[in-house]
Amino acid sequence: QITLQESGPTLVKPTQTLTLTCTFSGFSLRTSGEGVGWIRQPPGKALEWLALIYWDDNERYSPSLKTRLTITKDTSKNQVLLTMTNMDPVDTATYYCAHRRITAAGQYLDYWGQGALVTVSS
Partner 1 sequence: QSVLTQPPSVSGAPGQRVTISCTGSSSNFGAGYDVHWYQQLPGTAPKLLLFGNSNRPSGVPDRFSGSKSGTSASLAITGLQAEDEADYYCQSFDSSLRGVVFGGGTKLTVL
Footprint of partner 1 (CB under 8 A): 37, 39, 46-49, 52, 60-63, 96, 101, 103, 105-115
Residue placing its CB nearer to partner 1 in the complex, 88 or 110: 110
Contact 87, 93 (CB under 8 A): no
| CA dist., res. 69 & res. 122, Å (int) | 21
Measured from the CB of residue 21, what is the shortest distance to partner 1 in angstroms?
Answer: 17
Residue placing its CB nearer to partner 1 in the complex, 55 or 112: 112
Measured distance between the N- and C-terminal CA atoms of the chain, rounded to whole angstroms: 40
Measured from the CB of residue 122, what is the shortest distance to partner 1 in angstroms?
Answer: 27
CB count, 10 Å around CB of 73? 21
Contact 9, 87 (CB under 8 A): no
Residue placing its CB nearer to partner 1 in the complex, 15 or 64: 64
